[in-house]
């Protein structure tokens, strides 16, 4: 979003799960590298969700540092400059934890950390189901084809759309990232999830069953494209 207030709201919401680096990685990393092996948030075919959590969390955090460090170098600032948004995010999150401890004590801070971890795992599970097994073709030049609606799993269930603010219309979100969630479109040509997000998240918790269901869908999609 170009609106500074909307960006502030996004960062504030991510602060509630101590995941502010996601603001950088998602916008400047994930949307650029989605459905490639260069993207920590795109699940690979055959990858268990439990392993994906760790890969996406760790590599996403490292990627955010790399992106922001490169940005600082481009602007002529030091990587440890206050202009480095990743550095600011760490300080803000640390100050937030100190504030919770100072205002409410040790145990409430622990409860907050547990709640934040639950939020992170839910977010990464959603990342897992949104691009699982889908990949963009790499050209001879080394560049990848333009992101298309079929590089994201889509779900057009009404309840999911309402509760998740159109997140389930994920294909259009990636096809035109600047489009606001209120006007995201449904793409019939995009791969459709067998169920809504809650069902897909639960299914992913049983990897053997997940692989049977999803690999059949992927193979059918590949045949249709061929």
Tell me, what's the pLDDT at 210? 98
- Say whether both 125 and 53 belong to one domain: yes
Tell me, what's the pLDDT at 226? 60
Residue 83's domain spans which residues?
1-136
Q: Extract the residue ranges of the chain whose pLDDT is less than 70.
A: 225-226
- Say whether both 128 and 39 belong to one domain: yes
- Say whether both 32 and 129 belong to one domain: yes
Task: Assign 3-class secondary structure to 23-74.
Answer: HHHHHHHHHHHCCCCCCCCCCCCCCCHHHHHHHHHHHHHHHHHHHHHHHHHH
Tell me, what's the pLDDT at 165? 86
Residue 192 has phi, psi (to 5 degrees) of -100, 135
Q: Are 21 and 11 in contact (CB under 8 A)?
A: no
Tell me, what's the pLDDT at 146? 93
Q: Could you tell me if residue 142 is inside a domain?
A: no
- Say whether both 209 and 119 belong to one domain: no
Q: 112, 136, 160: which is the final residue of a domain?
A: 136
Q: Are 89 and 21 in contact (CB under 8 A)?
A: yes
- Say whether both 31 and 103 belong to one domain: yes
- Say whether both 216 and 163 belong to one domain: yes
Q: At how many degrees (to 10) do helices 49-75 and 106-131 cross?
A: 100
- Say whether both 76 and 14 belong to one domain: yes
- Say whether both 16 and 86 belong to one domain: yes
Tell me, what's the pLDDT at 177? 87
Q: Under 8 Å CB-to-CB from 97, ≥6 apart: which residues? A: 18, 109, 112, 113
CB count in 10 Å sphere of residue 16: 13
Specify the number of domains making up the chain.
2
Tell me, what's the pLDDT at 19? 98
Q: Could you tell me if residue 141 is inside a domain?
A: no
């Amino acid at each position: 979003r170009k609106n500074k207030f909307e960006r502030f709201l996004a960062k504030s919401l991510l602060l509630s799960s101590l995941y502010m680096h996601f603001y950088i990685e998602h916008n400047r990393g994930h949307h650029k590298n989605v459905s490639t092996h260069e993207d920590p948030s795109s699940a690979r075919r055959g990858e268990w969700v439990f392993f994906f959590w760790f890969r996406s969390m760790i590599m996403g955090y490292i990627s955010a540092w790399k992106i922001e460090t490169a940005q600082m170098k481009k602007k002529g600032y030091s990587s440890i400059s206050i202009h480095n948004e990743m550095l600011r995010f760490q300080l803000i999150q640390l100050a937030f934890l100190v504030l919770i401890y100072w205002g409410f004590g040790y145990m409430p801070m622990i409860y907050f950390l547990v709640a934040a971890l639950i939020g992170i795992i839910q977010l990464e599970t959603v990342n897992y189901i949104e691009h699982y097994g889908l990949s963009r073709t790499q050209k001879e030049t080394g560049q990848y084809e333009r992101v298309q609606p079929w590089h994201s799993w889509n779900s057009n269930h009404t309840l999911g759309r309402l509760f998740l603010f159109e997140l389930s219309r994920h294909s259009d979100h990636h096809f035109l990232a600047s489009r606001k969630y209120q006007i995201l479109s449904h793409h019939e040509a995009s791969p459709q999830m067998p169920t809504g997000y809650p069902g897909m998240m639960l299914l992913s918790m049983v990897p053997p069953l997940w692989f049977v269901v999803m690999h059949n869908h992927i193979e059918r999609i590949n045949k249709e494209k061929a």
